Amino acid sequence: RAKDLGGGTFQAYEPQLHVDADERRVMEIALRRALANGELHLNYQPVVTGETGAIEGFEALLRWTNPQLGNVSPAKFIPLAEQARLIGPIGEWVLRTACQEATRWPSTVRVAVNVSFEQLHNRNFAKLVAAVLQETGLPASRLELEVTESVFMNEAPHAVAVLRELLALGIKLSLDDFGTGYSSLGYLSRTKFSTIKIDRSFVQGAASNTPENVAIIRAVVALADSLGMSTTAEGVETDDELAMIRQLGCRKVQGYLFGRPMSAADARALFSGNARSAAA
């Protein structure tokens, strides 16, 4: 089983973006009960310094295992949760669970939590985050929230205001899947991101060393540098990809090369000896 291998992102989690109407209805009904039925859990994937392999943090990744449907890919059920207005309660559970877990890690290690655009519609979202930090005792500086460029689509002044409130709490913001969404860069000057996460579609292309991907990564790193932001390369699977992104000045790395998404227990075990073998 994938879980026994410390992962959860093998074949069963490959994105299958097409979901037909019947499948959707079945899935939505099941998803409504998933939280109460204890079918959700989090995996944690290390984000490391490319140079040393030292763990800077973990990204919390949501998993859903349903008795009838099996493991459902987040690429399928997250959009459904957003449309069915379930992302609020589910996202709150993710936030609380991830912050709670992070309090068990060394105090230098951050946790990153993905936040959907829909969650930023909630006027009280920053208050919720503040309450969760208070409750769990996690310092704000150890929480990073990941949003995608889509947050800035359709003139979303409200979402931008919520991001400001979040920054005022002292949390970090990172920009996920950079380069795959909205193309206007104006928002970068108005919201203070700590990190730009370069989408794996660019990084994995770097294995074949295409001049186009190299140029794109180089440009994103330069842009981030000049804005005082750092960069994380997503989806680094091979030594060649690692060498490439390091040479291009990208400091942080996330990908199967350093660790697959793993259970909370396996993530914790990385800090009690045997770190290298457990992460590989």
Summarize as ranges the residues that interact with Mg ion (CB under 5 A): 114, 146, 176-177, 234
d(CA 144, CA 173) in angstroms, rounded, equals 5
For ligand C2E, the closer of residues 6 and 91 by Cβ is 91
Smallest separation (angstroms) from ligand C2E to the CB of 225: 22
For Mg ion, the closer of residues 30 and 171 by Cβ is 171
Smallest separation (angstroms) from Mg ion to the CB of 68: 27
Q: Closest residue (Cβ) to ligand C2E?
A: 255
Quick one: what does residue 74 bind among ligand C2E, Mg ion, none, with the CB cut-off 5 to 8 Å set by partner type?
ligand C2E
For Mg ion, the closer of residues 149 and 176 by Cβ is 176
Q: Which two tokens stand for residue 228?
A: 């005082």
Question: Which residues of the shown chain bind ligand C2E in the complex (CB under 6 A)?
Answer: 9, 13, 45, 61-62, 73-75, 78, 91, 94, 114-116, 146, 176-177, 200, 234-237, 254-256, 261
Q: Is the distance from CB of 87 to CB of 78 less than 8 angstroms?
A: yes
Q: Which two tokens stand for residue 280?
A: 């590989």
Quick one: what does residue 231 bind among ligand C2E, Mg ion, none, with the CB cut-off 5 to 8 Å set by partner type?
none
Tell how strand 230-234 and strand 252-254 pair up: parallel
Dihedral sign of CA atoms 90, 72, 261, 51 in order = negative
For residue 95, give the nearest of 42, 162, 169 by alpha carbon.
42
Quick one: what does residue 116 bind among Mg ion, ligand C2E, none, with the CB cut-off 5 to 8 Å set by partner type?
ligand C2E
Smallest separation (angstroms) from Mg ion to the CB of 178: 8
| Residue 168 CB coordination number (10 Å) | 11
Count, in order, helices (H) and strands (E) of the chain: 10, 9
Quick one: what does residue 94 bind among ligand C2E, Mg ion, none, with the CB cut-off 5 to 8 Å set by partner type?
ligand C2E
Q: Is 251 helix (H, G, I), strand (E, B) or coil?
A: coil
Q: Which residue's structure tokens are 């990564």?
A: 217
For ligand C2E, the closer of residues 69 and 273 by Cβ is 69
